[in-house]
Structure 1
């Protein structure tokens, strides 16, 4: 498992070492010791979430506020997504900046999105199954979202047309009007 620092503090792209032979492949999708080394802190995951979405679906930009803030470790089990983290920490030098990367079943990369960041993804393949581990339980009272197409964020989503967004995500506030950290 190797890690590359993303362009946002604390956000890390994790690339596993994959062993391939005539039978197929094997890799560690999660190892607590190695993960702790990569993100330079102790992290405990308490919930796994999985979604299936079709091409063009945008989920996000989601986050939870304190005291139920969530860090997320995201990967694509099937298909391909463009995964995004947005810094929403008030006072951060990187506030409002975003980082995006391709996660796919083929590349097996994962994205660590720590607390204080909004998270979202866009499905690039016909369908995609996404799994993400979270550091706190889902809480409706603490759940928040920012509009995926907020012009101040100017996220460069790969698919410009045909985006499919839930009513809730489509009505999310802009960053300027959102409840933040």
Structure 2
């Protein structure tokens, strides 16, 4: 893994910005469990409008369907916290924004809402680069704030590492 795995959020955003600016590329976000935390972290950096243009907070399933074109059948059969859902979210964000890169997250931040199948701390993160789309599932420990913060960090780290060719 690259050295980005040890960088705090602010430095991850700076690294991301440098890489996107070098390409003249934009990134979009589609967030559920983080409630806009990824977009907030990105836009804390002055000048972020040169590489960040769009972000959606789609907490409710209806918002995922209406704003990001997540198929209702996916939400009904797989649930909001699933690989299929975050892949649909990231594709929807990418298509609707026109950005080359996108990241999407959906998870169970807690303190309730978990199940045996998807306990609190389960988070799916998906990324997009052009025609490439991929997702990973994580089990983050801690309380609601900690789960959300780790999700933001891993989403950013995944983008930086991808841009570094990791």
- TM bin, normalised by shorter chain, reads under 0.3
TM-score by length of 2: 0.27
- The two structures have a TM-score, normalised by structure 1, of 0.25
